[in-house]
Structure 1
């Protein structure tokens, strides 16, 4: 039977979510549906049907994402991309990706999309580039700071969720415009990110909330109490601080919690904790991919962010999946602001669309991507200035999976 694709109706959240649960080998839980309903935009969810059976699909959350220098900009936050077991390798995912990207181009809607990849080998063929990473950080309890680190003299205290949440939202929204990779959060997003029923905890405790006048931290505990005494793991969910001193004070509090053996945190790849410690080797770090970015329209996306230095370069873009991006574009940056227009001049740099997505948040150098054979310098000396212009002041980081 021929496959069909369409957007969903409000009353189709249940079948869609059951398909997603099935694809990710999870038990379907009807009680989760109301939580998902606040995030569900049916007109932005595409589903593929084999007859009457929903066999795959993917959705978009309409959100903002902070870009280098320019602050929050509209992003298509791609989510819930799945294909039901038994229906793979039938072109289902390709149909969903085509519908999403072509729809944004024809809208026009957002100029770029972003996602977390369940498997890192999937999305490169659709033009997504690995634009940011996170660090799995592990530090023993009580790890000392080096002399001279200031944590201030204000009190850090634990409070209940109701007291913490309003303060957390205010702090997050104040900081977000300057943190590349951070997403806007609606009330439904906050509810989803900090859901704390028993089934959300994966064997850990309920969330505990730590407040500082200029920041907050949220953590759970994984119990481990062997014969020689407690070696519990403290799992940080989020740590947000407006000042460097507040950042150090919150970390100091977490590192000194009694009955803990190890602090663990999926944090930013440039988290400065290692530079606060007297012994940097105590911080074990392992990096992995986080946000993957797809440039939907080169001429609309590249001017959205600011650039570190001026440059005037003709790019030869290769994009077989979204052919409207292919060809030569002149990128001109003056005072950090970019303009992009079609060009018939000789190209200076040849670039795969995947590389533009990877470099878009400023955390992946085009010069590095050239060594990975996604970028080629055609005019001697053109690549390094372009690579520098795309760099950001800090590493991009997305503190939530969506």
Structure 2
């Protein structure tokens, strides 16, 4: 097929049907060309790219314009990479390389975020894995709280979708600026997040909505029976609370619903729910990677967030894809704010750009990455000092796919 048989161009609304075909092929899903896909609620065609072999679209990818909360409560613009895929037959031929390089290099935001469908792919593009975690927690129906838990006196009300949506948007907007990793949402991203056609339910019920005066929960139900009787499953899609009392009250509401079974939720690594239980072992947890981070303009990105402690080190960065990030940078933090400047001084620490992306949201310790060979220390104590500075006050968590 030659050295480089592919071309890349910006997509338009006229490309929507071939885009659907590519994504259906890449992710082995059924295709209905007459019915819009959920991604069409959010896609920005001027930020979408297609990879073409001749006149045939064989790969697609898009960037969404979003905001994200960084450590220190800083709300910053982020490029959210999504809908990236290559048709069968054209994989492992360089099409994805062309696509991702085109998307990343053209990003004006200081950094990009993504969910990686394949954990072996995106590290080679300088994307840092495990930048945030997702914990799947399963709780048995009726699980008791310990005696000191305050659930307040407010009633949690089950409401319709139409009644819920305005409240959800208001509460989420108030909460997101205090939660590292939470994204700003447009009307389109709300439609994407709460898409509720049968094909998105995975055999479960339609969304159900419950409101607390200081929070809400969105969930689905699967009714089931076994030899011991009913075993209803409640699958939490999103739980948002402005206060600890609201958080406890919403969980209490879920645990008391239905008959038998369990409540499951993909939640933050530091969700206190196990500590609310009289028997913390009743919360069975599995941890997964969530957001990956790609530092696109390294100095701007590192200066946007806040840090837990002062530090002054020289970091030598390796970034083959974006040479503008490579080289030595003096990284200085005073009173939580960073200054990042070019320098010729000898490095205290060496790291690839993906390692800094992994640590960017404050959830992955640079000291752990050093043990894994992703970070190297040249000056004793420098990795430890840098690692502490990068930590966030809360575990980073992104409650939505995009």
Shift of 1:102: 1.5
How far apart are residue 275 of structure 1 and its match? 0.5
Q: CA RMSD in A?
A: 1.1
Structure 2 residue matching 1:30: 3-state secondary structure: coil
1:384 and 2:387 correspond: no
Counterparts of 1:349 and 1:48, CA distance in 2: 38
Distance 2:49 2:188 in 1: 21
In the TM superposition, what whole-angstrom CA distance separates every residue of 1:130-183 from its partner, at most 9, and x where no partner exists?
A: 201101111100110011100001111100000001000000000011110001
Query: Is the Cα contact below 8 Å between 1:141 and 1:262 reproduced in 2?
Result: yes
Q: Which residue number corresponds to residue 105 of structure 2?
A: 102
- What displacement does 1:200 show? 1.8
Is the CA contact 1:234–1:260 (under 8 Å) kept in the aligned structure 2? no
TM-score by length of 1: 0.97
How many angstroms does 1:228 deviate by?
Answer: 3.0
Are 2:167 and 1:167 aligned? yes
1:234 aligns with 2:237: no
Q: Residue 223 of structure 2 corresponds to which residue in structure 1?
A: 223
CA contact (8 A) 1:308 1:336 kept: yes
Counterpart selection for 1:11 from 3, 11, 14:
14
CA distance in 1, matches of 2:261, 2:110: 46
For the residue of structure 2 that corresponds to 1:79, the secondary structure is: strand
Gaps of 5+ in 2: none
Give the equivalent residue in structure 2 for 1:318.
318
Worse-matched range after superposition: 23-32 or 366-375: 23-32
SS of the residue corresponding to residue 332 of structure 2 reads strand
**In structure 2, C-alpha distance between the alignment counterparts of 1:230 and 1:100, rounded to whole Å:** 49
Question: In the alignment, does 2:347 pair up with 1:357?
Answer: no
Secondary structure, counterpart of 2:226 in structure 1: coil
SS at match of 1:138: strand
- On the 8 A contact 1:13/1:40 being kept in 2, the answer is no
So what's the TM-score if we normalise by structure 2?
0.97
Q: What residue is the counterpart of 1:292 in the other structure?
A: 292
The question of whether the paired residues in 1 share the 8 Å contact of 2:73 and 2:180 is answered with: no
- Cα gap change, 1:171/1:189 in structure 2, threshold over 3 Å: closer, same or farther? same
Q: Residue 316 of structure 1: CA displacement?
A: 0.4
Gaps of 5+ in 1: none
- The aligned residue for residue 89 of structure 1 is 92
From 71, 76, 80, the equivalent of 1:77 is 80
3-state DSSP of counterpart to 2:262: strand
Instruction: Indicate yes or no: 2:55 matched with 1:52.
Output: yes
Q: What do the CA deviations read for 1:100-128 (whole angstroms, capped 9, x no partner)?
A: 12112xxxx10100100111111111111
Answer yes or no: is the 8 Å Cα contact 1:14–1:33 preserved in 2.
Answer: no
**Pairing of 1:95-244 with structure 2 (within 5 A):** 95-104=98-107, 109-130=108-129, 131-244=131-244
- Distance in 1, matches of 2:282 and 2:228, equals 22
Which residue of structure 1 lines up, in the alignment, with residue 273 of structure 2?
A: 273
| Length, aligned pairs only | 398
Counterpart of 2:70 in structure 1 is 67
